[in-house]
Amino acid sequence: MHLPAQTDAAADRFPMIRIWEEYPVTAGFTVRQGGFSRGPYAALNLALHVGDDAARVIQNRALFFRMLQQDPKQAIFAEQVHGHRAVVVTSREGGAGVWQTADAIARCDALVCGQTGVLLNILVADCVPILLYDPVHNAVAAVHAGWRGTVSGSVDAAVASMRMAFGTLPHQILAVVGPSIGPCCYAVGSSVAQAVQEQASFLGAALGWRGATQYFDLWMANRLRLNRLGIDRVQVLGQCTFCHSDQYFSYRASNGTCGRMAGFIRMDGRETSG
């Protein structure tokens, strides 16, 4: 268990989804509630690049770090570009993108790390956040997969980097697919369907029609990708951000103006249980 120490009133109202509490990691997904932002960014917007008042975002991030008992100098954010480049980071990159976007890890959609104390963050609103953990080699990753990253394989890049840097084997990986737009709501146009067929036809099973509308199941597609790599321990939380836009930021449900939530993961020292 990694319950936060008693902090303050704001922190006590800070809900989030925690995973892997039986392991020496701090990992999960933030939700909308608990922060200082207003309007379409209410309340816990963790993104500095979406038009929200930067001072409030800084307050939100400070609260987020307090809740996780995280040293901001060892937190890392990426400049996500809907690509499929993974970057292995260390404490040397600690603080990247924390208080400004300018020094985030450039052009990166998958952060990978093998050190304790370093908090990896991926920001999403409808796009899929995927967390990976190899408890054998002590390596973690946080991955951003919108439809482009799902088609091009941002999660594959993360797994390849874990293998190359730390010797991770696929069957050793635990994976969780976090809150994101579900197959219930993710209608797509012909260009998305065409990209799937041309670039990753094995994901075709994740395309389907309801009436005249085509849907892309990002959860199934990323599960298919992970399974194809040999990763069977995949948990899909099944929380649709669009269906539950009161709980989660949803880019589509808010017509493109909204905050972002974090998928986060940090390895903790094995000696710090309880």
Residue 240 touches Zn ion, criterion: CB under 5 A: yes
**Residue of 24, 97, 182, 259 interacting with Zn ion (CB under 5 A):** 182
Closer to Zn ion at the Cβ: 27 or 128?
128
Angle at 14 between CA 99 and CA 97, to 5 degrees: 15
Phi–psi pair at 62, nearest 5 degrees: -60, -40
Contact 270, 136 (CB under 8 A): no
Q: Of 162 and 240, which has the nearer Cβ to Zn ion?
A: 240
Closest residue by beta carbon to Zn ion: 240
Q: How far is the CB of 197 from Zn ion (least distance, A)?
A: 24
Q: To the nearest whole angstrom, how small is the minimum distance from the Cβ of residue 185 to Zn ion?
A: 3
Query: Count of alpha carbons within 13 Å of 246, Cβ hemisphere only?
Result: 0
In this structure, are strands 261-267 and 213-216 parallel, antiparallel, or unpaired? unpaired
By the rule CB under 5 A, 237 interacts with Zn ion = no
Smallest gap from Cβ 261 to Zn ion, in A, equals 16
Residue 11 or 185 with smaller CB distance to Zn ion: 185
Binds Zn ion (CB under 5 A): choice among 36, 77, 242, 249 = 242
In DSSP notation, 34-94 reads TSS--GGGTTT---SSSSS-HHHHHHHHHHHHHHHT--GGGEEEB---SS--EEEE-GGGT
243 binds Zn ion (CB under 5 A): yes
Helix (H, G, I), strand (E, B) or coil at 162: helix
Asked whether position 248 contacts Zn ion by CB under 5 A, the answer is no
> CA distances (Å), 241 to each of 8, 46, 199, 245, in order?
28, 16, 26, 5
178 binds Zn ion (CB under 5 A): no
Q: Which CB atom, from 80 or from 241, has the smaller least distance to Zn ion?
A: 241
The binding site for Zn ion (CB under 5 A) comprises 182, 184-185, 240, 242-243
